[in-house]
């Protein structure tokens, strides 16, 4: 089976094997393997100011590079396929990184699975329309799905984190609250229906929230309403409410995760609000 490779945009997406040795895809056909596909904008991309997570063979996480079709261990550097946020003078760590390999390692540590393979396709600032069928990003997501299928694999969860770009566009274009919700929902439903039509029948988690410190609150609520509308229309699961964590400590640049923020958004579960933490949405595999 011949599978097309994606072509990186020069100077945009990360495409850096960093000398890592590729692994045999058959490893991920073993039981208790979690495969997470991630699409949307920068909250799950290489934009968080957080510490590197070195590869740990006892809690192993790997990544699929859609530019060469190879799977390699996550080594604490930026995740392939996604762009990377610029380093800021106030950042605690030397480069912006994704939270995905952190998710993978700690899902293993929690005993929810034995290994994790991530395929992160997030591009910072993209609105929902950029992921609708017929767009380059939609086609890239289908390509990644086909690449996994050629290895006998399919995502166990698909996380789509989207909304910030739509809220910003609503503000700059002076859209009504009603139009903002409706337009976001229509584009997101089209993406989800398109993935279903492409053959993905597994679990889809739609991220909830689009907070930024510069946000107009009415437009933030409008996008959240659109997220809820899209989930209801498609039957997918609303994921963690990222807008529960909006302090400067959690999101020091006014948007993206800090070291404390990535811990809070993923692991800080409490009995009253399990929906605040992403770990609640990943079940323990048999």
Greatest CA span in the chain, whole angstroms? 51
Cβ partners under 8 Å of residue 89, min gap 6: none
Instruction: Give the side-chain half-sphere CA count within 13 A for 54.
Output: 2
Residue scoring higher pLDDT (190 or 268): 190
Strand runs (DSSP E) across the chain, as ranges? 33-40, 61-65, 70-73, 115-120, 157-161, 203-208, 237-241
What pLDDT does residue 1 have?
A: 62
Tokens (6 digits) for 286: 């048999």
Model pTM? Answer: 0.97
Q: Is the pLDDT of residue 258 over 70?
A: yes
Name the region of 195 (left: φ>0; alpha: ψ -120 to 50; beta: rest): alpha
Q: Which one, of 62, 68, 72, 83, lies nearest residue 14 by Cα?
A: 83
What confidence tens digit (pLDDT) does each residue in 32-46 have? 999 999 999 999 999
Give 272's pLDDT tier (boundaries 50, 70, 90). confident
Give 58's pLDDT tier (boundaries 50, 70, 90). very high
Tokens (6 digits) for 184: 């976001």
Q: Which one, of 119, 157, 110, lies nearest residue 141 by Cα?
A: 119
Low-confidence winner among 3-17, 90-104, 149-163, 262-276 (lowest mean pLDDT): 262-276
The structural domains of the chain, ordered by start, are 25-281 (3.40.50.1110)
């Amino acid at each position: 089976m011949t599978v097309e490779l994606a072509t990186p945009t020069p100077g945009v997406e990360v495409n850096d094997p960093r000398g890592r040795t590729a692994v045999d895809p058959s490893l991920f056909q073993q039981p208790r393997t979690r495969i997470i596909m991630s699409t949307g904008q920068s909250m799950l991309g290489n934009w968080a100011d957080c510490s590197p997570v070195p590869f740990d063979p006892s809690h192993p996480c790997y990544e699929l590079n859609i530019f060469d079709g190879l799977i390699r261990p996550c080594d604490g550097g930026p995740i392939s396929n996604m762009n990377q946020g610029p380093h800021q003078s106030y950042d605690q760590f030397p480069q912006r990184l994704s939270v995905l390999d952190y998710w993978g390692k700690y899902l293993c540590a929690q005993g929810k699975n034995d290994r994790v393979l991530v395929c992160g396709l997030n591009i910072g600032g993209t609105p929902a329309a950029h992921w609708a069928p017929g767009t380059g990003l939609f086609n890239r997501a289908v390509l990644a799905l086909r690449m996994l299928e050629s290895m006998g694999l399919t995502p166990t969860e698909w996380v789509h984190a989207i909304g910030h770009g739509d809220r910003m566009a609503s503000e700059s274009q002076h859209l009504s609250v009603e139009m903002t919700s409706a337009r976001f929902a229509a584009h997101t439903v089209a993406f989800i229906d398109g993935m279903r039509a492409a053959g993905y029948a597994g679990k889809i988690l739609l991220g909830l929230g689009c907070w930024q410190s510069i946000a107009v609150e009415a437009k933030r609520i409008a996008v959240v309403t659109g997220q809820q509308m899209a989930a209801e229309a498609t039957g997918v699961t609303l994921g963690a409410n990222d807008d529960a964590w909006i302090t400067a400590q959690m999101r020091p640049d006014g948007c993206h995760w800090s070291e404390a923020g990535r811990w809070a958004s993923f692991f800080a579960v409490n009995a009253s609000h399990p929906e605040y933490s992403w770990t609640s949405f990943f079940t323990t595999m048999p």
